[in-house]
Amino acid sequence: MELAYKLVHSDRKSIGLSVERDKSIIVRAPKNAKTEDVEKFIERKKYWLFTKINHPQKYKSFKRTEFISGASILYLGRSYRLNVVKNGIEGIEFNNSFIISKKNQDAAYDLFREWYIKKAKDKITEKTICHSNNIGVEFNTIKISDLKYRWGSCTPIGNLNFNWRLIKAPIHVIEYVIVHELAHLRESNHTPRFWNIVKTQIPRFDEAKKWLKDNGHLLEVDF
């Protein structure tokens, strides 16, 4: 069975690959890498790739949350109860539990998405400013959106993009993703110097990295 993949060339010194959360395969290779060398590398990694793609937990499909009283909603790494009340409140209220009005149950998905995006923008902007000052880098813009199968990205001109679903993760995980992207403004590749920058800001970044690997699929649940 042939494997479809996207090939990305860069200044890196060796060939590497990753499987995105949509099961797409990304192969990263040096600019001067030969096609046959890339194909041989993929052939050697076929078993690993098939195992990764067919991971029963990482790529498990989840249904949308049913917005009824007692439902569990994830926010900043914790699950909170949803209460549906008869009061005519507008939007989402949060105080150790989520509260929506019964009249808004049909619009709950859009209301929660809007609420999450606002919270993500506030929290991520605050943390990004703090860590950029600590690292000594300047960024251009911050955009909070649905990045599909990425948690964050950084352009060469300093535009930072973050997945709004990160607001469901624990704060140390959010900060790890922020620092990871900011570190690219100092070091474009994942070199030892890059990871030293990350570790200076997030000493236990490996725990955050593991949390995302083990639990990242939970952030994709609506909600």
* Cα distance between residue 162 and residue 120, in whole Å: 9
The three-state secondary structure class of 96 is coil
- Per-residue pLDDT tens digits for 22-81: 677 888 899 999 888 888 888 888 877 777 776 655 555 555 678 999 999 999 999 999
What topology does CATH give the domain 119-220?
Zincin-like (3.30.2010)
* Cα distance between residue 23 and residue 216, in whole Å: 14
- pTM, to two decimals: 0.75
**pLDDT tops 70 at residue 9:** yes
Label residue 24 left, alpha or beta by phi (over 0 means left) and psi (-120 to 50 means alpha). Answer: beta
CA nearest neighbour of 38 among 73, 12, 69: 12
The pLDDT assigned to 1 comes to 47
- Per-residue pLDDT tens digits for 92-150: 999 999 999 999 999 999 999 999 999 999 999 999 999 999 999 999 999 999 876 68
Which position has the higher pLDDT, 184 or 147?
184
Q: Which residues pair with 96 in a beta bridge?
A: none
Q: Mean pLDDT, to the nearest integer, of 146-163?
A: 88
Q: Mean pLDDT, to the nearest integer, of 5-33?
A: 84
Which position has the higher pLDDT, 144 or 5?
144
The pLDDT assigned to 57 comes to 53
Q: How confident is the model at residue 221 (pLDDT cuts 50, 70, 90)?
A: confident
CA nearest neighbour of 160 among 173, 147, 169: 147
Residue intervals in the chain for CATH 3.30.2010.10: 119-220
Compute CA 192 distance to the chain's CA centroid, rounded to the nearest angstrom.
22
* Cα distance between residue 101 and residue 108, in whole Å: 9
Q: Mean pLDDT, to the nearest integer, of 146-171?
A: 90
